[in-house]
Amino acid sequence: MKEPKEFRGLLALAKLTARRQFWTKKTLLAIALIVVACLSAVRWRALKDPNSVRQQLRNSRTPEWLRQNWPDRLITVALAAALRVPSPVEYVRVNYKPNPTLYFAEENAMRLFVGFFLPILCLLYAAAALGEEYEERTFVYVLARPLTLWKVYLAKGLGIAPLLAVATVGGSGLLCLSAGSAGREAWPLFWPAVAAGALAYGSLFLMIGALAPKPMVVGVGYAFFFEFIAGNLPGTIKRASISFHCRCMMYDAGSHLGFQPLSARQFMPISGELALIVLVTMSVMLLGFGAWRFHRREYRDLT
Amino acid sequence: MTAPAIPDAMERTTAPALVIRDLSKWYGPVIGLNQVNLTIERGIVGVVGPNGAGKSTLLKLVTGQLRPSIGRVRVFGRSVRSLEARRDVGYCPDVDAFYEEMTGREFVRAMLRLSGFAFDEAVARADRAIAAVGMNDTAVSQRAGKRLRGCSKGMRQRIKLAQAIAHEPRLLVLDEPLSGLDPVGRREFADLITGQAASGTAVLMSSHVLTELRALADRVVLISEGRLLADQRLETFDRTIDGRPVKVVVESPDVRRIAGLLAESPLVSAVEFDELEVTFSTANPRALCEELGKIVRERGCRIERLDVPEQWAEALFDRADGA
């Protein structure tokens, strides 16, 4: 008979977590979100891809700067006018991205996937890994096993890691495939930022799931108020957001193609390497802090 | 170094199953448990007390889920927070929660895997535990293969017990194991617990119903407001309450007739009644209940409710509080 081993128990916990998290309605929701992202990429390919037949027909009838940006940049033009940028038309012309790869990378990959789908996909699995066990009151069985609590926390993180990787990196791959040649070219710029972002979001939402009473609500609140609003504000506050660092990684990876923020003065980007270091450090610190707090916490209200 | 292994092994085999010393637990300003001392060598020890008395707090401290504010808990000579001690403890919680999508067998197997057993070993042990709780016989062969969300309360209780005993712990901690079971289920479950104790496992079980523990426990620990009021063998408790009058309440449309028929009985020391119910004071409630049954059969009286309040518990609490 093989003696029971803690390490074996932790691996079993990670496997059990992955299995239980996968076979839930959350996976259907994650698939639905990825399908929506892919459909938006297909729509972009049909309507906005500068290489599409529709765009080429339009190009032959409209002025150069307007036909590439219509109707997307009208808001930018209006904003530029409101902010008293000397010449809105010139402003848009300077920032116009004639390369369809960059157009896709900014419009779909960055704004849509990194800005919206990535935190939501991470939240679905990471916040539920421990939060669901509390809510269903099944955590009492894990507590009664001969497992060290901080290792339980890390095992839970390990359990959701493959799900997060498939949902985020795999989902972004499907998004790029759906966008045709522009998407395929954007993929190298895109996936490292998604992977690093998924690691950071996963660590954050795992901690929220372990320590906050209503992890989904807290997680959605964080994603909306901090990542979406504060992450897009001018100034340095956005540097505390995960999405900012993901965007910096993307801009850096595409810099040789001329990929850059609309206004570098307002966006204040950092280098891709630094952004990666920040995201990895943030992830390690969040995992460490979460494991420490989780280990010291008492679970009084489970029974 | 092999030298320390010998005393350690000796301590494991000779140390009491559970030693609790000066154990206190505070939840902020609220005292959950206050200076409790308890030693369990073997057999079944019942923890009884009203709701909120501190029974669950004690059991959670014993299973290492909570940390003591003061005092210590040792299982077979080791701190209960150590992994070695927790391997020796099997815990059956009172909460009716499971991984509902699993079958009973899968659940027990998963718990064994979490305890660190290899797959083959977990499969074999799970099968043994399922058989031990009576879910493997031919009449109910599909039970352990049924999804837990579709299982009855009795089956779920059995699975909970199976996961607690599957790793063959030497100390079994059961939190309200009989609650929610029908009388037949209670009897079967009680037999399972007695069987575990007979095989040498020390059992600590809680209940707020003393009559449940009467049939099972060798010793009863009485807890109220976080304090341990009494720790005695059952016979001692029985002597304490012998001869105390017990109130039997009968609700019936024939209140006056029943009161009249039994008023002169030597079993009854006092009678009170109103339009809906009659209350008899008696030192022998069992004989009185038999007498009531006879009246129903022979005189055609109807009884809508028969209630024998748990005077046994009250007597114990009165005595312990007065001590």
pLDDT tens track of chain B, all 323 residues? 444 444 555 555 678 999 999 999 998 888 999 999 999 998 999 998 888 889 989 999 999 989 999 999 999 999 998 999 999 999 999 889 999 999 999 999 999 999 999 999 999 999 999 988 888 654 554 566 788 988 888 889 989 999 999 999 999 999 988 887 778 878 888 888 999 999 999 999 998 777 777 778 889 898 988 999 888 887 776 666 666 677 888 888 888 888 888 888 888 888 888 888 888 888 777 788 888 888 888 888 888 888 776 555 555 555 555 44
Contact B113 A147 (CB under 8 A): no
Contact A23 B60 (CB under 8 A): no
Residues forming a β-bridge with B233: B219
Beta strand B219-224 with B44-48 is parallel
Q: Could you tell me how far CA A221 lies from the centroid of its own chain? A: 15
Residue among B65, B110, B163 minimizing CB distance to A143: B65
Q: Which residues of B touch A144 (CB under 8 A)?
A: 63, 65, 86, 89, 91, 93
Q: Give the residue from B114, B173, B176 with the most A CB atoms within 10 Å of its CB, the best one to mutate.
A: B114
Residue among A12, A145, A300 minimizing CB distance to B27: A300
Sequence-distant (≥ 6) Cβ neighbours of residue B67 within 8 angstroms: A298, B61, B81
Closest CA to B73 of B128, B17, B115, B31: B17
CA distance A282 to chain B (A): 30
Burial of A208 (0-12, 13-18, 19+ CB in 10 A): buried
Looking at A136-251, which runs of residues are DSSP E strands? none
Residue among A5, A6, A144 minimizing CB distance to B91: A144
Residues forming a β-bridge with B250: B278, B306
Residue among A5, A23, A136 minimizing CB distance to B97: A136
Distances in Å between the Cα of B287 and the Cα atoms of B207, B267, B281, B284, B293 are 26, 8, 12, 6, 10
ipTM of the complex: 0.81
Contact A140 B93 (CB under 8 A): yes
Q: Is B304 on the interface with A (CB under 8 A)?
A: no
Distance CA B152, CA B185 (A): 11
Judge contact between A77 and A85, C-beta under 8 A: no
**Two tokens at B312?**
């046994």
Residue among B95, B118, B167 minimizing CB distance to A140: B95
- Residues (pLDDT < 70) of chain A are 1, 49-81, 83-98, 300-303
Judge contact between B280 and B250, C-beta under 8 A: yes
The residue of chain B nearest to residue A135, with distances taken between CA atoms, is: B97
Q: Which residues of B touch A22 (CB under 8 A)?
A: none
Q: Which residues of B touch A145 (CB under 8 A)?
A: 86, 111, 114-115
Q: Is B26 on the interface with A (CB under 8 A)?
A: no
Contact B65 A13 (CB under 8 A): no
Distance CA B159, CA B320 (A): 36
Contact B60 A12 (CB under 8 A): no
Residue among A13, A20, A143 minimizing CB distance to B99: A20
Contact A303 B86 (CB under 8 A): no
Distance CA B190, CA A296 (A): 37
